[in-house]
């Protein structure tokens, strides 16, 4: 991906997501109940939510691309379904949409936590990833803002996407270092927008997936992403607890698809 394109996605991501919503062919969905596989097949359309960013899903001209977009599209194709993608920046809105039947699946890398397992059915792992700290680089060894290790996070405020599963990890990290790490949840922006805010000095720190941070760092050389917040962990898709047959269909397909060349090609394209 070219640097100029990536920078455009970071700065204009929220606006582009709105545009993408109108470009995509999907019906107006009224709130209802979560659907399972048989009801989805009868309707003929799988409804998926994801986040608009340069890894998961993005629009470039008249082309739709993204790792999770290509995977969910392949699943729908192999099961004779159409797929309607909704780019939703808020993690909480994705969860609520799943609960009220607006979405059938969250086709986005969800950090597998015991807390989420209580409210969602999570697929077998899609990718391995970890959470990293995004901050601005510094030329001075005496810069009090620059975080050199996790211990330096004591008393600092980390900005994250509202409702992100990384909240639990940051709280646990605070216990590990024996001090308070403050968390500020941002509702309107996704990970790439938070990275841009750090790069341009609007906020000092953000926490996001390493894959998204690395893609952004190509066009924002002023950011540092070398401090890990979590270990490498599994990331999965999520469906409602009322959709066990859909979960089985996704897991069976993923087990086979991930062994093939098409998955390898898609993975290398974005990771």
CATH number assigned to the domain comprising residue 160: 3.40.190.10
> Do both 81 and 114 map to the same domain?
yes
In a domain? residue 135: yes
CA pair distance 174, 41, nearest whole angstrom: 46
> Do both 68 and 183 map to the same domain?
no
Phi, psi (deg, nearest 5) at residue 108: -155, 150
What Rg, from alpha-carbon coordinates, does the chain have? 19
> Do both 157 and 123 map to the same domain?
no
> Do both 146 and 217 map to the same domain?
yes
> Do both 119 and 42 map to the same domain?
yes
Q: What is the pLDDT at residue 240? A: 97
> Do both 99 and 165 map to the same domain?
no
In a domain? residue 148: yes
CA pair distance 144, 62, nearest whole angstrom: 45
Give me the domain span that covers residue 190.
131-224
Average pLDDT over residues 155-168: 92
Q: What is the pLDDT at residue 47? A: 98
- Number of Cβ within a 10 Å radius of residue 253: 16
In a domain? residue 194: yes
Average pLDDT over residues 253-269: 96
> Do both 116 and 240 map to the same domain?
yes
Q: Name the residue with tokens 């991501």.
A: 13
Among 17-21, 74-78, 121-125, 226-230, which stretch is predicted with the lowest mean pLDDT? 17-21
* Residue 82, pLDDT above cutoff 90: yes
Average pLDDT over residues 210-220: 93
Between residues 147 and 60, which one has the greater pLDDT? Answer: 147
CA pair distance 219, 58, nearest whole angstrom: 17
What does pLDDT average to over the chain?
88
Between residues 234 and 31, which one has the greater pLDDT? Answer: 234
* Residue 83, pLDDT above cutoff 90: yes
pTM of the model: 0.81
Average pLDDT over residues 179-200: 94
CA pair distance 91, 111, nearest whole angstrom: 12
């Amino acid at each position: 991906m070219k640097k100029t394109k990536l920078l455009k996605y970071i700065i204009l991501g929220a606006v582009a997501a709105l545009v993408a919503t109108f470009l995509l062919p999907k019906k107006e969905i009224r709130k209802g109940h979560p659907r399972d596989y048989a009801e989805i097949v009868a309707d003929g359309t799988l409804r998926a939510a994801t986040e608009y960013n340069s890894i998961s899903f993005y629009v470039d001209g008249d082309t739709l691309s993204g790792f999770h977009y290509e995977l969910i599209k392949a699943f729908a194709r192999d099961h004779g379904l159409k797929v309607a993608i909704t780019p939703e920046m808020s993690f909480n809105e994705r969860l609520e949409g799943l609960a009220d039947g607006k979405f059938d699946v969250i086709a986005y890398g969800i950090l597998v936590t015991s807390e989420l397992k209580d409210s969602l059915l999570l697929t077998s792992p899609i990718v391995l990833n970890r959470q990293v700290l995004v901050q601005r680089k510094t030329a001075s060894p005496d810069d009090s803002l620059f975080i050199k290790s996790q211990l330096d996070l004591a008393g600092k405020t980390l900005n994250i996407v509202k409702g992100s599963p990384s909240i639990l990890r940051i709280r646990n990290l605070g216990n590990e270092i024996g001090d308070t790490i403050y968390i500020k949840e941002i509702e309107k922006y996704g990970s790439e927008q938070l990275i841009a805010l750090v790069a341009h000095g609007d906020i000092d720190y953000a926490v996001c997936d390493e894959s998204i941070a690395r893609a952004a760092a190509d066009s924002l050389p002023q950011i540092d992403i070398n401090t890990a917040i979590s270990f490498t962990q599994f990331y999965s898709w999520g469906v409602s607890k009322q959709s066990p047959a859909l979960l089985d269909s996704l897991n069976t397909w993923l087990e086979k698809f991930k062994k093939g060349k098409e998955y390898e090609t898609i993975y290398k394209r974005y990771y």
